[in-house]
Amino acid sequence: MSKPNNVRRYAIEKYNREESIISNNYGNNLFYLSKHLKKVYPIEHHKTCSQTFINDFSSPLDHKKREILDNNIVVPQVIPCPNEKELMRCSWITNSTDKVYVQFHDECWGVPVYDDHQLFELLSLAGLLMDFNWTEILKIREQIREAFVGFNAKQVAKMGEKEINEVVSNVSLMLAENRVRSIVDNAKCIVKIGEEFGSLSCYMWNHMNYKAIINRFRNARDVPLRSPKAEAISKDLVKRGLRHVGPVVINSFMQAAGMTIDHLIYCFRHKECLNLAERPWRHV
């Protein structure tokens, strides 16, 4: 075989190897995004995860491969509420969804929160989404609340090594030491925020111009993992020394705290949370 043909064959083989490696990396990243999304919304797969990856990162996959990936992602169908056929919930609530999460969806998620202790709690719980999903967190919420003295930032900021080690060694919580320490360190930063702005509530809602963002999404795939507002708040919190407050965490926090209304428009809670969000801002 001539030398030019050998060179050409080598180039083709090298290209195929590189394409295979990049394709595998793409699949791994797609799996990671889907896995993280399931922590935030307990649904199977979310089309946004593939769209986010394709839009934010260049990929050598051709159009046909992308189309196959997108078509294989399952978007849950809207189903009636169990035992309440007249009500409709967001499509990530299914017949197999744990009751503790259903209750959270029906009573808490999307309700505007103005109390400093509750805001600090939701911010801390959202930070735990890197290790757990909402259902797992909610099942031990009371124990977490007790461990961090009701999420009173001033009290948490005073926790020393003894108290931190007690929380870390609590087998019912299974919290990593760095997570516990970050909550304590964040409490110290939140105390300073309170001194500067009057309260954590004033600080957070000032970012929102004292109005919740009201979205009207019809499909779960349209609900974003992050938003420009979440990115802005995250950036400022990081600058103030807080940890584990990336844009995805902050977006989850905003959804839980009613700063963003992301119930799907046909969900019975959308209208209820919208009415609550339209009330004049108040600080408790």
Instruction: Give binding residues as ranges.
Output: 90, 105, 263, 267
Q: If you write DSSP's letter for every residue of 134-192 in order, what string do you get?
A: HHHHHHTHHHHHHHTGGG-HHHHHT--HHHHHHHHT-TTT---HHHHHHHHHHHHHHHH
Residues in a beta bridge with 88: 80
CA separation for the pair 117, 106 (Å, rounded): 21
Residues 6+ apart with CB under 8 A from 247: 226, 227, 230, 231, 234
In angstroms, what is the C-alpha Rg of the chain?
Answer: 22
Torsion-angle region of 109 (φ positive above 0: left; ψ -120 to 50: alpha; else: beta): beta
Per the annotation, binding residues for Zn(2+) are 90, 105, 263, 267
